[in-house]
């Protein structure tokens, strides 16, 4: 028997084993010339509660990033009150808004990074939360002045209440009621 016919015979034997149902191509490991080891591949793993919780976390990441941006603006206002006191009345309101926004956005990015919300797509949600804080934070002071008197000071709360209107939008120091 020649080498070519021996290879053809081995090939035909393999084809016969496959056709006989002893193995199929994705789960048959051929060891040596005449032996074949067949294993059953593991089925696909089903999603458990961990996967369900992870998916819920993905769905909640955008609102959480919005909330973090809003709260970071409040933290920025608190830090500005503690470190700088009253704002300078001669300051340019546009530059003050840019400084507030940049500081609050930086706080939001660091805070959400520590919380695990590191996705770049959430940067927009953080920025929108900061913008929402800049526009609507004074409404919280109007709604709960007693709480803000404990956190900030009665003088700060009185100034915010005097300079802004309740249920309004604050832009460049001007209140627009809605």
Residues 81-92: tens digit of each pLDDT: 899 877 777 888
Q: Per residue in 118-164, pLDDT tens?
A: 889 899 999 999 999 998 988 999 999 999 999 888 988 998 899 88
Confidence of residue 68 (pLDDT cuts 50, 70, 90): very high
β-pair partners for 38: 28
Q: Per residue in 97-117, pLDDT tens?
A: 899 999 999 999 999 999 988
Q: Could you tell me where the DSSP H helices lie in the chain?
A: 3-19, 49-84, 93-115, 123-143, 145-151, 154-163
User: Which pair of tokens denotes residue 20?
Assistant: 């006989």
User: Which pair of tokens denotes residue 53?
Assistant: 């919780």
């Amino acid at each position: 028997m020649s080498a070519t016919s021996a290879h053809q015979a081995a090939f035909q034997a393999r084809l016969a084993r496959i056709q006989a149902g002893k193995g199929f191509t994705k789960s048959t490991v051929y060891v040596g010339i005449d032996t074949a080891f067949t294993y059953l591949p593991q089925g696909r793993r089903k999603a458990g509660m961990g996967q369900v919780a992870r998916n819920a976390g993905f769905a909640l990441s955008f609102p959480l990033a919005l909330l973090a941006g809003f709260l970071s603006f409040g933290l920025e206002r608190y830090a500005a009150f503690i470190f700088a006191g009253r704002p300078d009345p001669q300051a340019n309101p546009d530059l003050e808004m840019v400084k507030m926004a940049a500081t609050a956005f930086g706080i939001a990015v660091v805070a959400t990074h520590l919380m695990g919300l590191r996705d770049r797509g959430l940067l927009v949600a953080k920025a929108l939360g900061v913008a929402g804080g800049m526009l609507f934070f004074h409404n919280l002071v109007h709604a709960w002045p007693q709480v803000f008197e404990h956190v900030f000071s009665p003088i700060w709360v009185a100034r915010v209440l005097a300079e802004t209107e309740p249920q309004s939008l604050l832009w460049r120091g001007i209140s627009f009621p809605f």
